[in-house]
Amino acid sequence: DDQHGVKHLNLSAGFIMESGHEGRGCTSMCTKHVAKTITHHPFKFLGITAAVILLITIAGAIMGSFNMSESSNYDWVIPSGRASENQESLELAEGLATQGEVVTRGDTDSEAAMWFIFSWDKPQSIFTPANVQTMCQLEQVFLQTDDYNHVCLLNATSGQCAEPVDSITYRFYGGTVNGPACPLLSDSSVNATASALYAALNDPNQRYSAGFFLEKETENRSPRFTTKTRSTIPLGSPLDGFSTKRDRESDQDVEKLSFYKKVRKNLFELLDMKGRFLFSAYRNEVSRNGVEIQFTSGPLFELEGNALIADDLMLAIGSMAFVFGWMCFHLRSGFLATVSITQVVLSVPVAIFIYRNVYQIYFFDSIHILVVFLVLGIGADDIFVFIDGWRQAKESVDGLKRQLDPQSYLDLRMIFAYEHTVAAVFNTSFTTVVAFLATAVSPIMPIATFGILAATAIVVNYIFVITITPAVVVCYHLWFEKKWCCCLEQPEEVAGRKSANVEKGQQQEIEGRRRVLPRSGSNSKQVHPGPAVREGRNDDGESSLEKEEHAKQNEKVLVDMEKGRGGGGAHGGGQNGGAATASVEMLELRGATTTDDISAALRAHGGETKEAWTTSGDRKRSSSSSSSYQDRSAIEEKKKDDDTNKQQQQHANNDDDDDDDDGDKNDNVRQRRLSTAATSNAFDTLVVRYYIPCMTFKAGGWLVVALAITLALLAYGLVSVVFATRLAPPEEPIDWFPDDHMLRVAQEAQENDFTAGSLDEYVRVRIPFGITGIRRPNFNPFKPAENRGEPVFDDAFDLFPAASQDAYISVCNAARTHRCDKPVCQPQLLVYPTGDALKCFLPEFQAWFATRNPGRSTYNCTRRQFMDELALYRNDTSSGLSSATKSEMIGFIDGDLKYVSIHIAATARIDAATVDMAEVRSVFDGFIFGQNDVNPPGMNNAFAASGTWVWVEAELGTVSGFYSGLMIVFPVAFFVLILATSNIILALYAIISIGLIVAGVLGFIQEYLGWSLGVAEAIAGIIVIGFSVDYVIHLGHMYVEAGLGQQAIAGCEGRFTYAAEKMVSTVIAGGITTFGAAIPLWFCQMTFFPKMGTLMALTIFFSLIYSVGFFMALSLVAGPVGRAGNLRWAAEHLGLARLFRCMFGEEGLGGDTTATSKVAMMMQPDEEKEQTGSQPKKKKQQQRSVMEAKTAVAGHDDDQEQQQQAPRSSLDNGFSDAEVAAAEV
């Protein structure tokens, strides 16, 4: 207060930071402090943040944080799953049983076996001498590869590499080939061998071994012939220096991969197979001497997967290039686009550093690279929100630009933009983070960690957006904005060159803010601060010439106001006073286009239209009569009603019914929008010219377009819900490679084309007795290959009693004849009908025991003799079962027999669909549980263990994790929507929109693309929610903001228009960014990535359709107005307003968030701020406010002459005392 008691209007950053915070949120004060710090020290701020990011990145590189973790077979396994616990407890027990026993390559490693498939397109037998020779040469490339002797399956007797008995070459050549030169066989020899194969199909004992080499159609031809055949060559396990297959499994895998790299190189050279970028060598059609050739193996599959991922990830550069180009277009600045894309990309290594070193999560695989594509879209969207907020803040505060020093102006503009961005981006980022964290509940560790990393990246990106982006924008504004090298041509500059009637400097300042100034009715005199003073008439009574003249005068007044040239109006007054009033009012009137709009805006400061434009003398009289404000308001309202009635009468007399909605007022509004759109981007023009007029079109008083869109999209969404509920786990095996990829084609051929399969192609199941579970005391789920646990044995287990031996044999016999009525079981048996498909050691051991001990049997011997003989039999190499197999089946640990097992090859193929596998597993469980019910103690704890069941469990766990994520995300999203909109009705509309978006995406992929709910779909399903929330929250926030402040828009149509003008173009720009970032994924070769790209693109498409279409149309047709659904009003009546205001600020309770209302709040005295911040007002506070206002103006009037001599006495804030008094009134 000065000596006359006048409270100075201080719009400097210090006032904003330190005053007027009554009723404001704690968060709001914090954001103001941060905004001020950034605007005052932008380069210092950038330097510090850049240094921190650089140090984190360097530290991460030194610590190996960005290196991929070592893959293992346990990465996608559910450690707590029953199938996993059963399988691993048996594997661990087998490891303990064979510990210290070096059984080198005595067992078959079917997973690493090499497969060749030969075919030709002639309708005759493929078995010709030339073709057989070609097959032999291909197989010899594999057999003659360096180090084959170190990985081959060994013959238990000779110790040499075993003959490949499942090779078609071995059938024709026997063991005579030992080198690359395969002799050409005679026709008679080839025909004899082929005939023997065809005839074996009639023998039940040989049918399945012969059918392995012959295609399905062979039996239907007469005479019989096949056009396809195949070979498989297994490797041995464990490799040299390892005790079991699971002993240091990753090290054994490295040796196998090294061998197969040499195999691949030799085959590529022989068959001239060459690849290029985004086209694998395996996608070539390969043939030799007319024979089409395909080959595959597990290690080749892994090598190819790694190679394709490396190629596919190069497309991330394409995503970055698109995002960068789009940023340049939307931001109109190469400088801003470059820094922004760098900022977004750097958020990923920072997030990885936190993920691996702070969270201590070691696992980091190729799936996590998808975070780059997600962050590109989300990060760009957040930056667009801030930049658009910065531009909107310019429009809001430019009316005060000439009354503020540059730093205060910059502070004020940054605060408006910063508060808007912090709230809007936080809401969307928080929901997206929760959506990704919802994947952390997935039992599948890679999916869970992917969600954790993605959530961390979104948090880091949010921090960058509210710290680095503002500093970059300030630097750009201060030093680079007008440089041709850093800034593309601004639309304002283009518009300025097109205007020849206004000076270029003036046009750049006022273009986009030109408004129609108020013209009062016959009872209201309007005085302009310029020389032209005229009494206004109604619009209907003006001629076109008068309107044109009036528009010119208004334009001149605007220029004068902007330049501070107010002057002697009808009542006189100081120059500065006029300028102050005009500038302050310009901020309030920027959205007003008619007399009624401007009158309402001026009444927000306690005066009428004419008082707002008079000089201090009239303002004094206006202040003195402030007690009659309600009467004047009533008169003004009556005048408005009269004007409205006249307009309605005029429209009723008009022959064109459409003119009801196109009167002078709406023409002015439309012209203002078009003028603004002309200086904006293409999306703003699209919104103003087409979107808003189309959505607000009425016929017969009904919003027909909006209503039609609402009903149509609701109907489609409900249908999509039905489609989405049909999503189920895949009925076919997951395909990771393109349709024409050799490894995929070979896999499909093995599954579908041959009469019978090798036992390696069928599900392997083991049934142990004596193991009850597993303990995992030091297991780290993020290092899945380490410390897997230890088995728990059954102390009651004892094989020596006759009842136990009989129980074991009974299970073997029952398994061989047990029926499996599932379609995938072919034939309808549980066990494959060949002699070696069921391995039970006990009958063989009993015969072996009787041979060694005449007159004795395992039933009438001593326990000691039984155990000693069993240990000898276990290591014997002369019996039928291999020593490696017996070592696994008979579990001696530290001299004690801890378990025994049965090995089974089921009739279900190993590559069958997940659903089919789950059904077969249920059949096995039923069989085992039934046997346990009748077996004696110690033999009644058997279970079925299979690696196939582990993967079935993992895929089903993916689906369950998806639905668990939905149950988490939707409630959290609804809570965030409530906080963002502060309106329960609008939040309900929004969550319905989000649900329809998710249903639209999932229903589309199920019904029209035929996809199932696999790994990619489950991950993307959660991502869909994170993306879909963003746009709805932005639009809902703007719709609510339109109804706040002293110039609140009351109707649905007005709020819809406000939200559309403010946010629709931003939403579209952000959607295009994410859509564009997903496009490069479509060109990836790994099918997982195109699926993700498609799902991301569909998510953006449906998000835009249902946010800009359904949500906005529903809000237009039935949006909440007044107190309907208003949580602020409810909180105040429940006594929770103060708590919520402190936590979330006025914005969190649906408070006043518009730029102009914030200025109005800062222009009020402290007592009035308290009243504005906490409703309802108290009568005593009202009286005190009125008295202080009168005192302030009286003091100002008494000291009028002194103020004119020193018009800028308050140099600390840039306002004269006359301006202070004008603002107070």
Q: What is the pLDDT of residues 101-141, one digit of tens each?
A: 656 777 788 888 999 999 988 888 999 999 999 999 999 99
Q: Which amino acid is at 895?
A: G
In this structure, of 58-62, 149-153, 389-393, 1132-1136, the range with the lowest mean pLDDT score is 1132-1136
Q: Which long-range contacts (CB under 8 A, 24 or more apart) does 1137-1141 make?
A: 1137/1174, 1138/1174, 1141/23, 1141/24, 1141/25, 1141/1173, 1141/1174
In this structure, of 88-102, 543-557, 722-736, 814-828, the range with the lowest mean pLDDT score is 543-557
Instruction: Give pLDDT, residue 130.
Output: 92
CB atoms within 10 A of CB 128: 19
3-state secondary structure of 1174: coil
- Contact at 8 Å (CB) between 120 and 215? no
HSE-CB for 232 with a 13 A CA cutoff? 22
485 vs 439, higher pLDDT: 439
- Contact at 8 Å (CB) between 759 and 832? yes
Task: Flag whether pLDDT at 515 surpasses 70.
Answer: no
Q: Mind spelling out the 3-state secondary structure of 241-298?
A: CCCCCCCCHHHHHHHHHHHHHHHHHHHHHHHCCCCECCECHHHCCCEECCEEEEEECH
Task: Flag whether pLDDT at 605 surpasses 60.
Answer: no
Q: Once rounded to an integer, what is the mean pLDDT over residues 229-233?
A: 93
Task: Flag whether pLDDT at 823 surpasses 70.
Answer: yes
User: 228 pairs with which residues across the strands?
Assistant: 119
DSSP 543-584: -HHHHHHHHHHHHHHHHHHHHT-----TT---HHHHHHHHHH
User: How much is the mean pLDDT over the chain?
Assistant: 76
- Contact at 8 Å (CB) between 213 and 171? yes
CA dist., res. 55 & res. 57, Å (int): 5
Per-residue confidence at 177, pLDDT binned at 50, 70, 90?
low
Instruction: Give pLDDT, residue 862.
Output: 93
Task: Flag whether pLDDT at 1107 surpasses 50.
Answer: yes
Instruction: Give pLDDT, residue 762.
Output: 87
Query: 694: which 2 tokens?
Result: 């189309």
User: 287 pairs with which residues across the strands?
Assistant: 292
Query: 81: which 2 tokens?
Result: 């799953």
Share of the chain above pLDDT 70, in %: 71
3-state secondary structure of 1215: strand
Instruction: Give pLDDT, residue 1045.
Output: 61
Q: Once rounded to an integer, what is the mean pLDDT over residues 311-330?
A: 84
1191 vs 224, higher pLDDT: 224
User: 899 pairs with which residues across the strands?
Assistant: 891
DSSP 321-377: HHHHHHHHHHH--HHHHHHHHHHHHHHHHHHHHIIIIIS------GGGGHHHHHHHH
Which pLDDT tens digit goes with each residue over 836-859?
A: 889 999 999 999 999 999 989 999
Q: Which of 787-801, 971-985, 1132-1146 has the highest mean predicted lDDT (pLDDT)?
A: 787-801
1039 backbone dihedrals φ, ψ, rounded to 5°? -65, -40
Q: Which amino acid is at 928?
A: I
**Which helix or strand (DSSP H or E) is residue 816 part of?**
helix 802-817
83 vs 400, higher pLDDT: 83
Kindly give the interhelix angle for 406-437 and 1015-1042, rounded to the nearest 10 degrees.
Answer: 140
Question: N- to C-terminal Cα distance for the chain?
Answer: 16
- Measured between alpha carbons, how far is residue 985 from residues 431, 1030, 1119 in Å? 19, 18, 8
Cis peptide before 784 (omega within 30 of 0): no
Q: Quick one: which of 160, 162, 67 has its CA closest to 113?
A: 162
Instruction: Give pLDDT, residue 641.
Output: 52
Share of the chain above pLDDT 90, in %: 29
Q: Quick one: which of 899, 1076, 834 has its CA closest to 325?
A: 1076
Q: Once rounded to an integer, what is the mean pLDDT over residues 239-260?
A: 84
Distance of CA 698 to the CA centre of its chain: 38
CB atoms within 10 A of CB 1005: 24
